[in-house]
Amino acid sequence: MKWEVIEEGEKALLYHYNGKVSLKQGPKRLWLVASKLKRLEKFTAHHNEYLAIELLDGYIEHKIGPCSEVFNPLVHLKIRVEKCYCLDTNQAIVTYTKTGKENKSEVNIIKGPGIFMIQPNEWVHKFSWHGEEENSKVKFVANKNKFEVLNCAPDQLYYNVDEVRTSDDALIRIKLMIFYELKDIAKMLNETKDPIADILNCSKADVIAFTARKTYLNFLETCHLLNELTEFPKLVDRSEKIGYEITKVVFRGYFASPKLQALHDSSIKTRTDLKLKFESEIQQQKQLDQNLKNDISRLTTEQELEFQKLLNHLEMNRLKVIDENRINLEEKKSKIEMDTKLKLKDLENLAKKNEQKLEHLEKLNQFNIDLTDYLVTSLSSADKHVKIVKRQDNLSGKNNENSTNIHFHE
């Protein structure tokens, strides 16, 4: 016999001596007589958790947190605290929901962001894909990567295609980096169980097809084409069918066997030496060509200078002749103008003299002076003298007063 105390928020089962069991809830103080008290365990779920409660009658109940539940063995078979699925923006899960009595199920694709709780009639799809080996990023093992939350963000993988044989039987290893992105989850679920395996196999098939039709040297010359998606038709086609998109393929280089690499290095050295000699010879020829061009350019410049000097000399002579002709012309023009002015002045003087003389003669005429006699006497002696005498009247023998006497002097 003893006292037992049940704290507030606690529950306990009280087993009596007669086999009866009763549920006690605190706060409470009990006096135990021929009985046994069993405290019940309390399960608590936080905001990102939920309680999976299995009842004795077979039903299962899920309660989203935050919540709590006391495990009662009279009612409950098991209580578990499970984590909810906390999905980011580029994450998703695939669930299957049991519907009806025919045991059929529906596929649900749930994308983040958000917190998701699985219902009792649901289960989550578990993916099992090829994954990277430990301590190696370029080797993949089947069923290595097991997960439930899909990553829908763009991602990439490193992959080495080993033992690729060229047309001249050279074995090489080709290194790739493949960028991909999940676009259609439903198509991926319907078309493939392991999309990574499909991507690896198709990329390997495209690389083998690219290399098989080329020799080793041709491969070295055209290996940069492996950076183009056009050289990976199978990979691109298969990715579209399984809901993926190949955004880019990067050729990271190649690896050959030591012997083949040694032969290649030797051939590279030989080609490099020949190339250097060839480039040196080309450089010398270019230098000679440049010197010749410089000489030709110098001679051409000198000829142009001489020709320009000659043109300048001719132009100076032409300008000199033009100036001389202009000066002579101006002198002649000035002389003509001067002579013209002198002649005009002489004519003006002569005209003034004639006017004065005419005025003088008019004045003499006013005084009834015989102008003819005056003019005759004023002239110098003449070489020839012509005289016209007045006609006498035959009857009277007198001169006619109206007749005129005219003298001509030459």
Q: What are residue 360's phi and psi, to 5 degrees?
A: -65, -45
Q: What are residue 3's phi and psi, to 5 degrees?
A: -95, 140
Claim to verify: residue 135 and residue 103 sit in the same structural domain: no
Claim to verify: residue 248 and residue 165 sit in the same structural domain: yes
CATH code, 195: 3.30.479.30
- pLDDT tier for residue 359 given thresholds of 50, 70 and 90: confident
The CA–CA distances, whole Å, from 200 to 151, 164, 211, 331 equal 18, 14, 16, 107
Question: Is the overall model pTM greater than 0.75, yes or no?
Answer: no
Q: Which domain holds residue 103?
A: 84-125
Residue 395 has a pLDDT of: 47
Which of residues 105 and 398 earns the better pLDDT score?
105
For residues 319 and 270, what is the distance between their CA atoms, to the nearest angstrom? 71
Residue 40 has a pLDDT of: 84
- In tens, the pLDDT along 266-277 reads 777 787 888 889
Structure-block tokens of residue 139: 């080797």
Claim to verify: residue 244 and residue 284 sit in the same structural domain: no
- In tens, the pLDDT along 276-305 reads 899 889 999 999 999 999 999 999 999 999
Residue 62 has a pLDDT of: 92
Cβ atoms < 10 Å from Cβ of 263: 14
Residue 386 has a pLDDT of: 60
> Does the pLDDT of residue 87 top 70, yes or no?
yes
Cβ atoms < 10 Å from Cβ of 332: 10
Residue 19, in any domain of the structure: no
Residue 239 has a pLDDT of: 94
For residues 59 and 257, what is the distance between their CA atoms, to the nearest angstrom? 64
Structure-block tokens of residue 52: 């999976």
CA-wise closest residue to 192 among 244, 248, 149: 244
Claim to verify: residue 135 and residue 251 sit in the same structural domain: yes
Claim to verify: residue 137 and residue 244 sit in the same structural domain: yes
Residue 171, in any domain of the structure: yes
- In tens, the pLDDT along 195-251 reads 999 999 999 999 999 999 888 888 888 999 999 999 999 999 999 999 999 999 999
Structure-block tokens of residue 379: 């002239």
Is the separation of the CB atoms in 390 and 398 below 8 Å?
Answer: no
The share of the chain scoring above pLDDT 90, in percent, equals 46
Residue 311 has a pLDDT of: 92
Claim to verify: residue 330 and residue 216 sit in the same structural domain: no
Claim to verify: residue 139 and residue 220 sit in the same structural domain: yes
Residue by residue, DSSP assigns 334-378 as: HHHHHHHHHHHHHHHHHHHHHHHHHHHHHHHHHTT--HHHHHHHH
> Does the pLDDT of residue 404 top 60, yes or no?
no
- In tens, the pLDDT along 302-355 reads 999 999 999 999 999 999 999 998 899 889 988 998 988 888 888 888 888 888
Q: Which residues contact 264 (CB under 8 A, 6 or more apart)?
A: 216, 220, 256
Claim to verify: residue 292 and residue 248 sit in the same structural domain: no
Residue 74: CA count within 13 A, CB half-sphere:
11
Q: Which residues contact 60 (CB under 8 A, 6 or more apart)?
A: 52, 53, 54, 120
Is the separation of the CB atoms in 226 and 178 below 8 Å?
Answer: no
Q: Which residues contact 236 (CB under 8 A, 6 or more apart)?
A: 229, 246
Claim to verify: residue 376 and residue 345 sit in the same structural domain: no
Residue 177, in any domain of the structure: yes
Residue 145 has a pLDDT of: 92
**Mean pLDDT score of the chain:** 85
One-letter amino acid at 100 equals G
71 by Cβ neighbours in 10 Å (0-12 / 13-18 / 19+) ranks as middle
- In tens, the pLDDT along 364-401 reads 778 777 777 777 777 655 566 566 555 555 545 555 55
Report the DSSP pairing between strands 127-132 and 104-111.
unpaired
Look at the chain and report how many structural domains it folds into. 4
- pLDDT tier for residue 45 given thresholds of 50, 70 and 90: very high
> 10-24, 144-158, 160-174: lowest mean pLDDT where?
10-24
